[in-house]
């Protein structure tokens, strides 16, 4: 559904101003600004509850959803640009261990809770609800770490690395569970071992290929681009690489944000050295204004889709709270999987809590497959909202607590 241009432009103006103002209020309270942006969305999206209908379209408008998606791509691209592949590889073992534990434990807990609270649903539905809990929202976590200046700490790199890996693992789980359900529906056997291997292989190939081949290739491409001396070419080319990688990730069945993050990782390696001074600032500085415009749209939009009216049904609330508890507890075991010593395991576990866009994508797929009904969907959205709302203040507290106790400082 799309709305007319006038309403869309007014909504964008409101999004930008309210997100910045509430973001600032939260920053002054010592909280990450992203929480204020989400709250701005909750306020704007729930105006119909108090009888104001003028902005009711923002939760369903296709154009806003698209701009929000571009916003989260730019955010992950920025996070990738800020990240360092070599330093990320050094925490690769820990990140992989954290991600694996963080996929298995919440999935088992979620399946058990679904079986207990929704006995009338099929086993496939139970497993599917478990799968919804697997993937950490790297967007929320990245933004909180960025707001607190912790992206490049060891803990920050483990959390971001694990969040990317569990996105990939989660999407593999989704592909496998979907294959099982569709296989069962046509009456045949489930998904063959070969198909499972193929889903796993193409995911690994994409990220490995992007980092191993993309790095050297784009280094050459950008050398040519710098030599061409076209004003704005390097920014345009960088955005093109970001969008192309996001599209490629989508094409092989991964989330588009994984591609945008990979593009940022690769271009971080590129020596961005303008020859003639026609490019006054670096790539990160050039991408920042685009992020200032588009990233808040994502968070306001995420907040706007939380329908506060769903809180009215106590059974929805119970399911949501149980799933939220599983989502939180399930990821706390992650911290124990960290291989290095002396690290802030509590912060790592907390950093893995938020579920976001991937969880919502899972819920949408589940509705298409007929294993997730409207009530379960509302509970999933609430779980996403609660984990998202909880993480920023708790993670900020946890990271600051650690920083202030200098006697146990990490290496």
In which residue are the tokens 């996929």 written?
Answer: 103
Smaller CB separation from a second copy, 112 or 235: 235
286 touches a second copy by CB under 8 A? yes
Q: Which residue of 114, 125, 256, 328 would you call a contact of a second copy, by CB under 8 A? A: 256
Smaller CB separation from a second copy, 27 or 269: 27
Q: Which stretch binds a second copy (CB under 8 A): 138-146, 209-217, 278-286, 358-366?
A: 278-286
Both tokens of 29, joined, read: 């309270």
Smaller CB separation from a second copy, 235 or 329: 235
Smaller CB separation from a second copy, 135 or 323: 135
Q: Which stretch binds a second copy (CB under 8 A): 122-130, 288-296, 301-309, 379-387?
A: 288-296
* Minimum separation from the CB atom of position 66 to a second copy (A): 5
Smaller CB separation from a second copy, 247 or 336: 247
Smaller CB separation from a second copy, 21 or 204: 21
Long-range contacts of 31-37, Cβ-Cβ distance < 8 Å, separation of 24 or more: 31/392, 31/393, 31/396, 32/143, 32/144, 32/147, 32/148, 32/392, 32/393, 32/396, 33/147, 34/140, 34/143, 34/144, 34/147, 34/299, 34/392, 35/389, 35/392, 35/393, 37/296, 37/299, 37/300, 37/303
* Minimum separation from the CB atom of position 194 to a second copy (A): 25
Smaller CB separation from a second copy, 6 or 406: 6
Residue 195, exposed/middle/buried by CB under 10 A (0-12, 13-18, 19+)?
middle
Footprint of a second copy on residues 224-243 (CB under 8 A)? 228, 230, 232-233, 235-237, 239-241, 243
Footprint of a second copy on residues 47-86 (CB under 8 A)? 62-63, 66, 69, 73
Is 309:48 a contact under the CB 8 Å cutoff?
A: no
289 touches a second copy by CB under 8 A? yes
DSSP string of 344-394? -HHHHHHHT----HHHHHHHHHHHHHTSS-HHHHHHHHHHHHHHHHHHHHH
Residue 27, exposed/middle/buried by CB under 10 A (0-12, 13-18, 19+)?
middle
Q: Which stretch binds a second copy (CB under 8 A): 115-123, 291-299, 314-322, 377-385?
A: 291-299
Both tokens of 114, joined, read: 């679904």
* Minimum separation from the CB atom of position 32 to a second copy (A): 13
* Minimum separation from the CB atom of position 240 to a second copy (A): 4
In which residue are the tokens 């769903």 written?
Answer: 310
* Minimum separation from the CB atom of position 155 to a second copy (A): 24
Residue 311's closest CA among 57, 46, 80, 93? 46
Interatomic CA distance for residues 383 and 367, integer angstroms: 17
Q: b/e for 40-59, b at 16 or more Cβ within 10 A?
A: bbbbbbbeeeeeeeebebbb
Q: Per-residue x/- marks for a second copy, 2-41, CB under 8 A?
A: x--xxxxxx-xxx-xx-xxx-xx--x--------------
Is 87:152 a contact under the CB 8 Å cutoff?
A: yes
Contacting positions for a second copy (CB under 8 A)? 2, 5-10, 12-14, 16-17, 19-21, 23-24, 27, 62-63, 66, 69, 73, 228, 230, 232-233, 235-237, 239-241, 243-244, 246-247, 250-251, 256, 280-281, 285-290, 292-293, 296
């Amino acid at each position: 559904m799309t709305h007319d241009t006038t309403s869309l432009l007014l909504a964008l103006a409101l999004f930008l101003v309210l997100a910045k103002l509430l973001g600032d209020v939260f920053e002054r309270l010592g909280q990450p600004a992203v929480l204020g942006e989400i709250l701005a969305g909750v306020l704007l999206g729930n105006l119909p509850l108090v009888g104001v209908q003028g902005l009711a379209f923002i939760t369903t408008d296709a154009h806003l959803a698209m701009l929000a998606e571009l916003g989260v791509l730019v955010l992950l691209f920025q996070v990738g640009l800020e990240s360092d592949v070599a330093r990320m590889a050094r925490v690769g073992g820990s990140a992989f261990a954290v991600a694996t534990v963080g996929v298995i434990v919440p999935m088992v807990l979620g399946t058990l809770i679904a079986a207990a609270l929704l006995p009338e649903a099929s086993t496939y539905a139970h497993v599917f609800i478990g799968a919804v809990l697997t993937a950490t929202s790297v967007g929320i976590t990245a933004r909180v770490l960025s707001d607190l200046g912790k992206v490049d700490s060891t803990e920050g790199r483990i959390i971001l690395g694990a969040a990317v890996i569990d996105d990939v693992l989660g999407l593999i789980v989704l592909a496998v569970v979907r294959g099982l359900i569709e296989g069962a529906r046509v009456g045949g056997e489930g998904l063959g071992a070969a198909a499972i291997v193929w889903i796993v292989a193409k995911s690994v190939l994409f990220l490995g290929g992007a980092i191993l081949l993309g790095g050297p290739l784009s280094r050459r491409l950008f050398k040519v681009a710098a030599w061409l001396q076209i004003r704005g070419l390097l920014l345009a080319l960088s955005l093109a690489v970001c969008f192309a990688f996001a599209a490629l990730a989508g094409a092989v069945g991964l989330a588009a944000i994984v591609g945008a993050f990979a593009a940022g990782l690769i271009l971080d390696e590129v020596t961005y050295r303008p020859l003639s001074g026609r490019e006054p600032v670096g790539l990160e500085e050039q991408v920042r204004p685009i992020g200032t415009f588009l990233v808040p749209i994502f968070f306001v939009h995420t907040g706007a889709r939380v329908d506060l009216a769903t809180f009215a049904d106590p059974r929805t609330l119970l399911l949501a709270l149980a799933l939220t508890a599983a989502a939180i507890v399930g990821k706390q075991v992650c911290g124990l999987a960290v291989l290095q010593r002396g690290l802030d395991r509590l912060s790592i576990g907390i950093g893995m809590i938020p579920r976001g866009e991937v969880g919502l994508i899972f819920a949408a797929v589940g509705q298409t497959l007929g294993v997730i009904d409207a009530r379960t969907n509302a509970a999933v959205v609430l779980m996403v909202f609660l984990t998202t709302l909880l993480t920023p203040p708790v993670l900020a507290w946890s990271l600051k607590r650690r920083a202030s106790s200098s006697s146990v400082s990490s290496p």
